[in-house]
Amino acid sequence: MTPEYGHFALILAACLSLALGVVPLLGATFGRPLWQATARPLALGQLALVAFSFICLAAAFARDDFSVAYVAANSNRLLPWYYKLSAVWGAHEGSLLLWVLVLSGWTAAVAVAGRNLPPALLARVVAVMGLIAAGFHLFLLLTSNPFERVLPIPPADGADLNPLLQDFGLIVHPPLLYMGYVGLSVPFAFAIAALLAGRLDTAWARWMRPWTNVAWAFLTLGIALGSWWAYYELGWGGWWFWDPVENASFMPWLLGTALVHSLAVTEKRGLLRGWTLLLAIFAFALSLLGTFLVRSGVLTSVHAFAADPTRGVFVLGFLGLVVGGSLLLYGFRAPTVPAVAGFGWRSREAWLLANNALLVVITGVILLGTLYPLLADVLGWGKISVGPPYFNSFFVPLTLALAVLLGVGALLQWKDTAPRRLRSALILALVVALPVGGLLPWVWGSWRWGAALGLFGAVWIGVLTAIDLWRKSRASGRPWRGLRLLRAGYWGMVIAHLGVALAIAGAGVTTSYSVERDLRMVSGDRQKLGGFEFHFMGVDEVFGPNYRSQRGEIHVTREGRGVATLMPEKRRYLGGQVMTEAGIDGGLTRDLYVALGEPLGAEAWAVRLHVKPGVRWIWLGSALIALGGVVAVCDRRYRSRVRATARTAALAEA
Amino acid sequence: MERLKLFVPLLIFLVLALVLYFGLGRDPRALPSALVDRPLPPFSLPVLEGDAVVDESLLHGKVRLLNVWGTWCVACRDEHPFLLELANRGVAIVGLNYKDDPDAARAWLARLGDPFEAVVVDAAGRYGLELGVYGAPETYVVDADGVIRYRHVGVIDADVWRDRIEPVYRSWVIPQ
């Protein structure tokens, strides 16, 4: 019966979400405090019901209830318990349930943590999220019910989880990514609430900032984890493929980044209000578009879930309703009166605006590349495929320009910066970054443009950040005390920017200096690559819970000293799929990466060896970026100011 | 007038939504090719191994699959083990290496195994254009007379093979 309870809870949750989307909103419109106050209990009730439903599905997996079609398709008696758990979100229906669970979680979090907000605003925000949830509940119940039964004769055993997904990365990657994707619904809801209320002061920007930061930090981590997962699980050593589904998560991230920065301008200076609203709407629209691209099967991708046109129509209709409605509202309500405050070109506002423009251009370029095959087909221009060369040729120079802007922008002051202050910093940064970028590549033995540009960008950001830190710490007269006085918001920015520098350096270095070789190796063979010697010891057969594996053993030495023992595997799962598990020795300066290819008869194997310098910096940098986002939220002023503003707002309403 | 400008984002979105809507009707996996039941367009292209130049008669004489692939194509990597399995079962497959670097393609086959009878190189993507290739991987069933009988866009796995391609393939192996 458990699956039926889960299904029933889901139906109840859908009803609650509809109530949540309507009652508080009417309460806010007609000034009924009681109706507004329903927001919190309804949001909490929705979360409880969806969580219960999720637990029911997890229980069906744990108990091998193969009478549930979704369980039968994605699990197996022999699957270890932790993969049974992660299999809950291993395919379309369950991952959508996870999506709804995360959305209910965010809604409840806003309802509870937003106690300090003016009640009418909170009611509107939570109601908008309720409406979004209602759409997804209907999607889930009408097109993708995870609790569907196979009756009367359930299969004796399940078909097993896609082996690509039987991995630690899959346990954590989707929940983190969804936390980010769905978290963008919070700034969206704030923007819509502000437009609905017609109160376009800057208070909403301040309330929105911490939520945006947290969602964006989750999205950063989710994307980085996805890249890392692809790196070690797909077995060919790449870390970004410009696959449509990767792009689908990257575009909201880019707009989220733009939003985080334009929010700073709106909060501090009251400028760019319309622009910030628009970014909040489009960032969430792109997460919905991502859902559409993945679920509808309009584009082919390694990630593609079952392509089902009815699902596509539903998501597209929903997307049209949500985004079209929001933009219509924006058209009617957005402020037309330009803000009075002006700013010069040496101001932080100007450079943040330029950074925003670049981020939007990059997003546009990626959107065009992702949708171009579709667009060309619809317009009858023939069928065209767009590959990594297109994306790289735009993305690389634009990102470098962004790095240069970033370094300068962070150094500037609001309104205007003294020319001398700016000039001295720029000259110093150039004097350091040019020779370092130009010479440092020799550390890896040869000079490459990619590495030089990446390192230049990284050092440029690093030096300018250091100069700013130095100046700020000296302002109080005592440097160490000065450092401690700096606010969490500032430290968050510093950490995130250094993360960007590290990631750019890593991308430049690993693209330039990774070496790889495909070889036929027999037991006892030795091969030199990138200063290391790889010694192939042969292949054993080992057994896992639900697979049989050929496991190679390779000893790596450097100048006679042992460095690592790598165990690449070739697994054949019960379902017949063959998977490559790379053997990786990770390190701060380089990764050693070995993948086992096909057996070539008589003890011989095709083996692929990689030495990848700096590849970890990319993920380490991403982690720093996310950390920066979270640190900034800890800034005291959000808490105190939220309370203060709420008090004033409450007074104003009373 | 100022107010009207604020509707520009909405307009942009509507255009995008229209494209998506019309795109929805076109399942990229089941694109009917205008070329189905018509002979393979003529070509004259180099092969991957050696310096011979071949034409469409390479595919005459028996039923074959023509598989469009490239080393830049992520999904092709997924598909590759299954192509090897098909080749082991005796299915004749000709590769069309599409918009790719021949050295990288040779290294790929050396490493992952070579399921192809022969690989034709279409480095510039011209022939792909004539075939109407949407993206890699893509697979055509070509009968003994060199006539295209079926087209599949996307990865072939055991299910796709059993449900969609094998029936067509079998029906042309044994003439009715």
3-state DSSP percent of chain A in helix, strand and coil, to 5: 65, 10, 20
* pLDDT score at A306: 42
Give CA–CA dist A489/A366, Å, rounded: 30
Higher pLDDT, B15 or A100: A100
* pLDDT score at A236: 66
Residues of A in contact with B133 (CB under 8 A): 383, 385
Q: How confident is the model at residue A385 (pLDDT cuts 50, 70, 90)?
A: low
What is the percent of chain A where pLDDT is above 70?
90
Taking CA atoms, A117 is separated from A50, A114, A190, in Å, by: 26, 5, 11
Residues of A in contact with B113 (CB under 8 A): 597-598, 606
Give the three-class secondary structure for B147. strand
* pLDDT score at A360: 95
* pLDDT score at A303: 44
Higher pLDDT, A168 or A383: A168
Contact flag A327-B10 (C-beta cutoff 8 Å): yes
Give mean pLDDT, residues B28-45: 69
Give CA–CA dist B172/A11, Å, rounded: 50
A356: pLDDT strictly greater than 50 = yes
Share the mean pLDDT of chain B. Answer: 82
CA distance B23 to chain A (A): 6
* pLDDT score at B76: 81
Q: Give the residue carrying structure tokens 């302002």.
A: A475
A304: pLDDT strictly greater than 60 = no
Q: Count A/B contacts: CB-CB distance under 8 Å.
A: 129
Nearest to B20 among A297, A298, A388 (CB): A298
Contact A531, A613 (CB under 8 A): no
Higher pLDDT, A488 or B36: A488
Report ipTM for this prediction: 0.72
Phi, psi (deg, nearest 5) at residue A5: -60, -45
> What tens digit of pLDDT does each residue of A516-570 get?
887 888 888 999 998 899 999 988 889 888 888 889 999 999 988 889 999 998 8
Q: How confident is the model at residue A330 (pLDDT cuts 50, 70, 90)?
A: very high
Q: Give the residue carrying structure tokens 């982690």.
A: A623
Higher pLDDT, B5 or A295: B5
Residues of A in contact with B21 (CB under 8 A): 316
Give the three-class secondary structure for B125. coil
Residues 6+ apart with CB under 8 A from A628: A217, A491, A492, A493, A494, A495, A496, A497, A499
- Least confident segment among A26-40, A127-141, B30-44, B103-117: B30-44
Q: How confident is the model at residue B167 (pLDDT cuts 50, 70, 90)?
A: confident
Contact A553, A537 (CB under 8 A): yes
Residues of B in contact with A243 (CB under 8 A): 74
> What tens digit of pLDDT does each residue of A242-268 get?
877 788 899 999 999 999 999 999 888
Nearest to B2 among A236, A278, A336 (CB): A336
Closest CA relative to residue B78, chosen from A431, A243, A418: A243
Closest CA relative to residue A92, chosen from A247, A234, A294, A288: A294
Q: How confident is the model at residue A206 (pLDDT cuts 50, 70, 90)?
A: confident
Share the mean pLDDT of chain A. Answer: 86
A297: pLDDT strictly greater than 70 = no
Q: What angle do CA A49, A42, A19 make, to 5 degrees?
A: 100
Q: How confident is the model at residue B28 (pLDDT cuts 50, 70, 90)?
A: very low
Contact B159, B84 (CB under 8 A): no
Give mean pLDDT, residues B119-134: 77
Phi, psi (deg, nearest 5) at residue A579: -125, 140
* pLDDT score at A624: 97
* pLDDT score at A50: 97
Give CA–CA dist A620/A141, Å, rounded: 40
* pLDDT score at A653: 45
* pLDDT score at A652: 47
Contact flag A373-B134 (C-beta cutoff 8 Å): yes
Nearest to A375 among B19, B24, B112 (CB): B19
Q: How confident is the model at residue B17 (pLDDT cuts 50, 70, 90)?
A: confident
Give mean pLDDT, residues A393-411: 90
Q: How confident is the model at residue B3 (pLDDT cuts 50, 70, 90)?
A: confident
Give mean pLDDT, residues B16-21: 79
Higher pLDDT, B141 or A342: B141
> What tens digit of pLDDT does each residue of A83-134 get?
888 889 888 888 889 999 999 999 999 999 988 888 999 999 999 999 999 9
Give CA–CA dist A284/A280, Å, rounded: 7
User: Which H or E element spans position A561?
Assistant: strand A561-566
Burial class (CB in 10 A: 0-12, 13-18, 19+), A526: exposed
* pLDDT score at B1: 64
Give the residue on A whose Cα is nearest the Cα of B8. A331
Six token digits for residue A126: 């939570």
Residues of B in contact with A309 (CB under 8 A): 24-25, 27
Nearest to A300 among B110, B135, B158 (CB): B135
> What tens digit of pLDDT does each residue of A364-384 get?
999 988 887 777 666 665 545
* pLDDT score at A326: 94
CA distance B73 to chain A (A): 8
User: Which H or E element spans position A82?
Assistant: helix A81-86
Q: How confident is the model at residue A300 (pLDDT cuts 50, 70, 90)?
A: very low
Residues of B in contact with A312 (CB under 8 A): 24
Q: Which of B11, B26, B111 to mutate to test the interface with A (most CBs of A within 10 A)?
A: B111
Strand partners, A553: A538
Give mean pLDDT, residues A202-225: 91
Six token digits for residue A21: 């989307």
